[in-house]
Amino acid sequence: MLLINCPYCGERDQSEFTNGGEAHVARPKDPDQVNDREWSEYVFVRANPKGIYYERWVHTHGCKKWFNAIRDTSTDEILKIYKIGETPPLIKRFKNTLRSPSGEPDVGSGNFTVKKP
């Protein structure tokens, strides 16, 4: 249940939005000039990191506008929201804190352990 700050309407509940997957995946200018592999990467292949990620959202039950967001997939923290066409901020600018709501460890999953002092 994220709270998403639509750049046109303001903060709204996640239920009003639809996620559109990874952002900044450009459609090849001349599709006939790319090989099958390059084309399939455009159509099918997306990064799926545990961490900071560029993604698209659309305010489906609102202004119907698409926009971009930078979200930490491990914490669901939305670090930045910007309109289509604006220059994407560099991911490096954000600290990847890699924590998750269920209290999982930094890497992998399961209950965390503390070494004996």
Q: Which stretch binds another protein (CB under 8 A): 47-55, 87-95, 107-115?
A: 107-115
Choose, by CB under 8 A, the member of 46, 47, 76, 93 that binds another protein: 76
Q: What SS3 class is residue 90?
A: coil
- Closer CB to another protein, 48 or 113, in the complex: 113
Please give the C-alpha separations between residue 45 and each of 41, 42, 48, 106, in angstroms, as whole numbers: 5, 6, 9, 26
Residue 59: CB minimum distance to another protein, A: 11
CB atoms within 10 A of CB 11: 8
Residue that has been written with the tokens 């659309």 in this structure: 58
- Nearest residue to 12 (alpha-carbon basis) of 24, 1, 20, 23: 1
Question: Contact between 2 and another protein (CB under 8 A)?
Answer: yes
Question: Contact between 7 and another protein (CB under 8 A)?
Answer: no
Structure tokens at 26: 């450009």
Site residues, another protein (CB under 8 A):
1-3, 13, 18, 20, 27-28, 30-32, 34, 36, 39-40, 43-44, 56, 58, 60, 64-66, 75-76, 84-85, 99-103, 110-116
